[in-house]
């Protein structure tokens, strides 16, 4: 019997314990627990994996603790440009959007692209017009702003750098690799994945990372695995990390754990790539690999108590 399961992440990186206070850590733990529990409840009630990952990522976009939707980082022009992708492992259909400035939940726009368009990826104003035509509301770009993210922008400018939401050292939660994601296996045996991000602090307007790129930051295939990545996006794009993980399983006959170790712990670091991924294979095995100090993550099997972790010693 298939055991339905969902996993989520809120970004990876060098999340210094010295900088993350117990109270702040508890905020992240509680947010992750609440969101993974919502996805778990949907699975238990028979929802599809695609619906579960879409809703989990929507909830992550609504939480200002994470760099997606509300609470997204600023571009160099003091605006927000958001990206998202969803993929159905049963049909291999995918939908993605990039450079979104006026839609509250990019993951819902990506879902509309999957369901209502003949395309896979829409960008900028065209993506927004399409989503609004299909019922989404236009919002002001300032909706995504928070004081903490603006302070990050000022710090990045002063240091004359483009910052991942978790990079450098020593680091705290202010510099984590800002992506959120979800993967799930439902009772029908179908896999799905979703990824969403606000990108990099002080990034050039128009920059797009791995999150909305099918096979780079997001991938799902019932023959192998569902994957959502977080990290140095340019390296994940150059290695097609999410698809590479799937291919190693489908063609190389590697186990989920073996494929994760090959991609996240060997291939990415060799090119200077830092970060991690969440992955569920067609048998319901879960892997949460990362080569950084930590990754905000949680998973829950139907009927079991959710597991939440940030650091390497938390499983």
Show which residues are catalytic: 179
Cα within 13 Å of Cα(286), Cβ side:
21
> Cα–Cα distance between 150 and 104 in angstroms, integer?
19
Strand-by-strand arrangement of the 225-231 sheet: 218-220, 225-231, 275-281, 286-287
Cα within 13 Å of Cα(102), Cβ side:
14
Distance in angstroms between the alpha carbons of the first and the last residue of the chain: 25
Whether residue 99 is annotated as binding a ligand: the answer is: no
Whether residue 209 is annotated as binding a ligand: the answer is: yes
Whether residue 230 is annotated as binding a ligand: the answer is: yes
Whether residue 29 is annotated as binding a ligand: the answer is: no
> Cα–Cα distance between 228 and 57 in angstroms, integer?
11
SS3 102: coil
Whether residue 180 is annotated as binding a ligand: the answer is: no
SS3 163: strand
Whether residue 195 is annotated as binding a ligand: the answer is: no
- Report CA Rg, the chain: 17
Per the CB < 8 A criterion, the answer to whether 96 and 214 are in contact is: yes
Burial of 170 (0-12, 13-18, 19+ CB in 10 A): exposed
Q: List the structure tokens of 248.
A: 């190693």
Whether residue 231 is annotated as binding a ligand: the answer is: yes
Binding-site annotation: residue ranges: 207-210, 230-233
| Binding-site residue ranges for substrate | 207-210, 230-233
């Amino acid at each position: 019997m298939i055991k339905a399961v969902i996993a989520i992440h809120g970004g990876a990186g060098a999340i210094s314990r010295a900088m993350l206070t117990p109270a702040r850590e508890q905020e992240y733990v509680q947010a992750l627990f609440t969101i993974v529990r919502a996805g778990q409840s949907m699975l238990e009630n028979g929802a599809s994996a695609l619906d579960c990952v879409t809703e989990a990522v929507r909830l992550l976009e609504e939480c200002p603790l994470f760099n997606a939707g509300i609470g997204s980082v600023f571009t160099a022009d003091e605006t927000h440009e958001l990206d998202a992708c969803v993929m159905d492992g049963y049909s291999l259909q995918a939908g993605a959007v990039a450079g979104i400035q006026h839609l509250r939940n990019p993951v819902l726009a990506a879902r509309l692209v999957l369901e209502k368009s003949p395309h896979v990826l829409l960008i900028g104003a065209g993506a927004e017009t399409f989503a609004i035509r299909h019922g989404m509301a236009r919002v002001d770009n300032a909706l995504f702003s928070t004081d903490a993210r603006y302070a990050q922008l000022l710090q990045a400018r002063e240091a004359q750098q483009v910052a991942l939401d978790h990079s450098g050292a020593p680091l705290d939660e202010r510099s984590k690799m800002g992506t959120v994601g979800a993967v799930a296996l439902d009772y029908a045996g179908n896999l799905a994945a979703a990824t969403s991000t606000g990108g990099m602090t002080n990034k050039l307007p128009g920059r797009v990372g791995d999150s909305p790129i099918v096979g780079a930051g997001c991938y799902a295939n019932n023959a192998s695995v569902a994957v959502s990545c977080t990290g140095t996006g340019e390296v994940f794009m150059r290695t097609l990390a999410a698809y590479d993980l799937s291919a190693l399983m489908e063609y190389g006959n590697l186990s989920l754990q073996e494929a994760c170790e090959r991609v996240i712990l060997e291939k990415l670091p060799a090119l200077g790539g830092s970060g991690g991924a969440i992955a569920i294979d067609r048998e319901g095995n879960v892997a949460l690999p990362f080569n950084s100090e930590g990754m905000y993550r949680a998973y829950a099997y139907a009927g079991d108590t959710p597991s939440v972790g940030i650091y390497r010693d938390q499983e």
